[in-house]
A and B are shown apart, each in its own frame.
Chain A
């Protein structure tokens, strides 16, 4: 069965430090993978996606993600975290006309 997992409910990081939010997937065939961010009381916003090509994908707000086929992972990264990055982050996998979402990881960036 196709699935996506986010193993951490919460990630805490100090402002200015690098951050990583983890995502692993299970799929038959080549995956289409997405990251979304949700700020309080808002809908989800698209950050970036991997379809094919370069394993390092750059997205909005300075975020990037690294696709690793051998480890079936698609971790979200940012070199220097900002307090304003504090939000809920969702990884998603495309599957026949729809997206399968992970359970989300809450990122807390401390000043």
Chain B
């Protein structure tokens, strides 16, 4: 199993550009999550999904969109990138919620200039 994979690893965007961060998992997990991690800060939840076709906002959803058309994939879309979106983005998945641990991808480091 590859686990949770994320692409790209690094990206530099100009203000106002858009991009999609890709996330895929091959563990047949129902739950998937997008977090951002700013320097010296913990993780903040952007969006999450409890299954294909179902998504919900987390703590910091503004400026982002998600979709979940399959169990495996959970892309994160940035529209009109802003410097405040400079961060490291992590995707995670878990089989169920509750007592099940989340598995994290390696992250995407995004810089908006």
Residues of A within 8 A of B (CB): 32, 34, 36, 41-46, 49, 51, 90, 94, 96-99, 101-104
* Complexed CA–CA distance, A29 and B93 (Å): 25
Q: How far is the CB of B35 from chain A (nearest CB, A)?
A: 8
Interface residues of B in 5-51 (CB under 8 A from A): 31, 33, 41-43, 45, 48, 50
- Select which of A42, A46, A98, A101 is within 8 A of B42 by beta carbon: A101
Total residues of chain B contacting the partner, CB 8 A: 23
When distances are taken between beta carbons in the complex, the residues of chain B under 8 Å from A34 are 101
Q: Is the CB of B98 within 8 A of A32?
A: yes
> Which residue of the partner chain, among B42, B45, B90, contacts A43 with CB atoms under 8 Å?
B90
B43 near A90 with CB under 8 A, answer yes
With A and B bound together, what is the CA distance between A102 and B42 in angstroms?
6
- CB of B60 within 8 A of chain A? no
A41, A44, A97, A102: the one contacting B104 at CB < 8 Å is A44
Query: From residue B84, how far is it (CB to closest CB) to chain A in Å?
Result: 19
Bound-state CA distance A62–B4 (Å) is 25
Q: Are A90 and B90 in contact (CB under 8 A)?
A: no
Closest to B4 in A: A43
Interchain CA distance A32-B98 in the complex, whole Å: 7
How far is A43 from B43 in the complex, measured between Cα atoms in Å?
11
Question: Which residues on B sit within 8 Å (CB–CB) of A42?
Answer: 106-107
Closest residue of chain B to A47 (Cβ to Cβ) is B101
Do B42 and A97 touch across chains, with their CB atoms under 8 A apart?
no
Given A43-B90, A43-B104, A104-B42, answer yes or no on A97-B50 (Cβ-Cβ < 8 Å): yes
Instruction: List, in ascending order, chain A residues with CB within 8 A of B43's CB.
Output: 44, 90, 101
Q: Considering the chains assembled together, what is the distance between the CA atoms of A102 and B97 in angstroms?
A: 18
**Residue B99 CB within 8 A of the other chain:** yes
Are B99 and A49 in contact (CB-based, < 8 A)?
yes
Q: Which residue of chain A is the closest to B106 with respect to CB atoms?
A: A43
Give min CB distance, B4 to chain A, whole Å.
Answer: 8
The answer to the question of B58 belonging to the interface, with a C-beta cut-off of 8 Å to chain A, is yes
Give the distance to chain A from B110, nearest Cβ to Cβ, in Å. 14
